[in-house]
A = this chain, B = another copy of it.
Amino acid sequence: MRFVARVEVQLRPGIADPEGATIERALPALGFDEVHGVRAGRSFRFEVEADTEAAARTRAEELAHRLLANPVIEESHLELVAATSEVR
């Protein structure tokens, strides 16, 4: 079976986020006074071939935690769906 995985990689709380801070500083001049706490991260989507959803999840989590995120400063969050349904 083929499963669709979606991984969100975010900086850990407390780690400085210059990109998010820059966006937040620009927002009031662009008319978005009511937006705060901007954090920037990365996202990935990919497909995993596996016999079961549990196996696909294990492999996708290995990939997310070992290769897509830098575990020293980042945390990753995985969502998994069967490829027959839509992620979004």
Report A's interface with B, CB cutoff 8 A. Answer: 6, 8-10, 20, 23-24, 27, 30, 32, 34-50, 59-60, 62-63, 67-68, 77, 88
Contacts and interface: CB of A to CB of B under 8 A. Distances in A.
Q: Which are the 8 A-B pairs with shortest beta-carbon distances?
A: A34-B49, A43-B43, A38-B46, A41-B43, A37-B47, A39-B45, A8-B43, A36-B47
B30 A38 contact: no
Interface of A is mostly: strand
Nearest to A8: B43
Given A48-B34, A50-B34, A77-B88, A10 B63 contact: no
A67 B42 CA distance: 16
A71 to B, nearest CB: 16
A68 B42 CA distance: 13
A70 to B, nearest CB: 14
